[in-house]
A and B are shown apart, each in its own frame.
Chain A
Amino acid sequence: MAKAATLSQAEIEGFVERAKRGDRQAFGRLVDEYKDKIYSYVSRMLGDPYEAEDVTQEAFVRAYRSLPRFRGASSFHTWLYRIASNLAIDVVRRRKRNDVSAFSLDEPLESDDGEYEREIADDTGGPADATGTRETQVAVRRAIMDLPEKLRDVMILYELQGETYEDIAEILDVPLGTVKSRLFNARNQLKDRLQSLVEAGEIEVEQ
């Protein structure tokens, strides 16, 4: 789950007010506070760390531009998520329009400077279980990326980002019931995809 907030609610509100008046350093403090949360969400949505960095940066820039109209009806963090979600969905749809087929997490990334191996941080144990853990993580990420975008969004926000049903409903601008039904379908589909990987022998399940 993304890093817990370190600023109090009162401090956040103070920085928001200062940023509204054009104080970029105050806004920088808010970026520091939320960048891991927003980046991890976008990265999980897009499956591409480089594109995630661009989208996260764009989300914060747009948030700053839009701050004068932020009335505080929702919390600052759900408002930020909402901006990031719209941008991430735009990228997903653009990929579909451009017919960019799904990539493998094992394939290298291409950039102007050449090719990079996709790196997945391993913070879950020593060398003895590192290979198995990494394979499982790659398989789970691939299964998440295979979910339809609306189900993926809810799955990531609830299961990985730790957001509440209510906050997700606000972020995605959908009714609470829709959040719950999408989460139900997402869990079912993810389980089915992982089951097929288990049956194919790509990952193991202890019974």
Chain B
Amino acid sequence: MTCVEVREHLVVCWGDADELSAEVLAHLAECEDCRLEAILLRETRIMLRSLPDEQAPARLTEGVLVRLAAEESQPGLLARMAAWFVPEDRPAWTRAAAVGVALALAVAGGSVLYHGQQPAGNAPDTIVASTQAQLPGQAEYDELLLRHRALEASQALADDPGVSLVSYYR
């Protein structure tokens, strides 16, 4: 058995001789370095277990209850959003991400609603509507025609990205 193998066994059982196999014990009888390793591990465990218990301050329970009472009367919006999407036993970044996603969805939804209420960007309809309401002057007519052509051009570009604005107007 090599020193590396023996030391792996030692770490697993904290160098406790009662838990070591005869093979490992035979190695320890001959190898001073591994014997020292076993002693160090045993001492490490003893030192660890000598640490005293730590008790929470007596006021902790009261502090929690006071906070709960205060938060129940006025919970934060973000805290409620995060708690709704992701449980508290998840890491903080997942809750932050949930809030981010919720905000992004809200913005996207608002944007869709806003644009849904705008008049369609259809130039001919606009012209017809305008002419029906009141005949435009020459300058206004030219401007409407220009906007109409610009819309047609952008539609053509969207349909075929290979078409350039210059080639379209030619």
Contact = CB atoms under 8 A, between A and B. Distances in A.
Interface stretch (B36-44, B115-123, B126-134): B36-44
Interface residues of A, number: 60
Interface stretch (B18-26, B47-55, B104-112, B161-169): B47-55
B91 A184 contact: no
A207 B35 CA distance: 10
**B-side interface size class:** 35 or more
Given A57-B67, A83-B88, A3 B53 contact: yes
Contacts of A188: 11
5 contacts: A1-B53, A49-B54, A64-B68, A86-B89, A205-B40
Given A27-B64, A203-B47, 17 more contacts: A28-B61, A32-B61, A35-B60, A35-B61, A36-B55, A39-B57, A40-B55, A56-B56, A57-B63, A61-B64, A122-B52, A123-B52, A136-B47, A136-B50, A187-B41, A187-B44, A194-B47
Interface of B: 8, 11-12, 14, 36-37, 39-41, 43-45, 47-57, 60-61, 63-65, 67-69, 71, 79, 83, 87-92
Interface of A: 1-3, 24-25, 27-28, 31-32, 35-36, 38-40, 43-44, 49, 53, 56-57, 60-66, 69, 79, 82-83, 86-87, 89-90, 120-124, 133, 136-137, 139-141, 159-160, 184, 187-188, 190-191, 194-195, 198, 203, 205-207
